[in-house]
């Protein structure tokens, strides 16, 4: 079952690479907020890091200001995204390729978290295939190619919910689970993007607490 599922995931990945090849090959660029706001910040941040400089000053607005507020708005304080972006920046010769592939990979991380969260609900390979198509061919993955507000709000929320369910609801949590939970919550606290992850976690935990209330309580 796992082997067939992995094969299906790679098949979906290959189909998406083919479908999005005009952007992933650099012949087309991202649009809307990404091209206006995110691309200049992305190129400045990773060009500075790749040259061994710490980007601390923002040259893009109001004749210059501290770069930290913009870095938080771009989620550059997330070490996973920074390491990924730096790796892609050094892998590709083109800034466009690094920028476009960055959004594709991060979008896939988000979609994969949603899929893994819901895959437990079915053990049938065909139902899981439909779940893959519903998740990986939805706005969860394609919205970041236009603007990344949804991505920044929701990126780690499904992973947080998955961790809470598997390590805190279904079993007694271990120390590494506590540390990983703290990490995901911590990297979500950038700019105002903490709202999405926190609301999702509160609703998720509240739902499980309500489900633990005995049925007799509601019959009183």
DSSP 111-139: HHHHHHHHGGG---HHHHHHHHHHHHTSH
Query: Which residues are paired to 65 by β-bridges?
Result: 58
- 95 within 8 A of 139, measured Cβ to Cβ: no
Question: Terminus-to-terminus CA distance in the chain, angstroms?
Answer: 45
Between residues 23 and 91, the one the model is more confident about: 91
Collapsed DSSP state (helix, strand, coil) of residue 27: coil
Torsion angle (degrees, nearest 10) of CA 136, 139, 145, 146? 170
Q: Could you tell me the pLDDT band of residue 213, with boundaries at 50, 70 and 90? A: low
* This model's pTM is above 0.85: no
Q: What is residue 18's predicted lDDT score, i.e. its pLDDT?
A: 87
- Quick one: pLDDT at residue 7? 83
Q: pLDDT tens, 136-191?
A: 888 888 777 777 777 777 888 888 888 888 887 777 878 888 888 888 888 888 87
- Helix H segments across 36-156? 39-50, 68-73, 79-91, 95-118, 125-136, 139-142, 149-154
């Amino acid at each position: 079952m796992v082997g067939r599922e992995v094969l299906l995931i790679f098949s979906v990945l290959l189909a998406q690479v083919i479908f999005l090849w005009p952007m992933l090959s650099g012949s087309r660029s991202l649009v809307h907020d990404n091209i206006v706001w995110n691309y200049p910040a992305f190129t400045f941040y990773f060009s500075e890091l790749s040259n061994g400089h710490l980007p601390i000053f923002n040259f893009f607005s109001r004749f210059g200001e501290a770069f930290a507020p913009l870095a938080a708005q771009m989620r550059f304080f997330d070490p996973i995204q920074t390491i990924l972006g730096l790796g892609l920046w050094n892998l590709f010769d083109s800034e466009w390729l690094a920028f476009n592939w960055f959004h594709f990979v991060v979008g896939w991380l988000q979609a994969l978290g949603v899929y893994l969260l819901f895959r437990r609900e079915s053990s049938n390979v065909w139902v899981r295939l439909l779940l893959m198509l519903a998740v990986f061919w939805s706005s969860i993955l394609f919205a970041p190619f236009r603007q990344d507000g949804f991505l920044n709000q929701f990126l780690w929320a499904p992973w947080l919910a998955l961790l809470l369910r598997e390590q805190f609801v279904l079993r007694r949590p271990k120390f590494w689970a506590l540390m990983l939970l703290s990490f995901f919550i911590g990297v979500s606290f950038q700019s105002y993007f903490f709202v999405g992850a926190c609301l999702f976690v509160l609703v998720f935990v509240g739902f499980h607490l309500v489900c633990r209330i005995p049925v007799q309580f509601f019959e009183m």
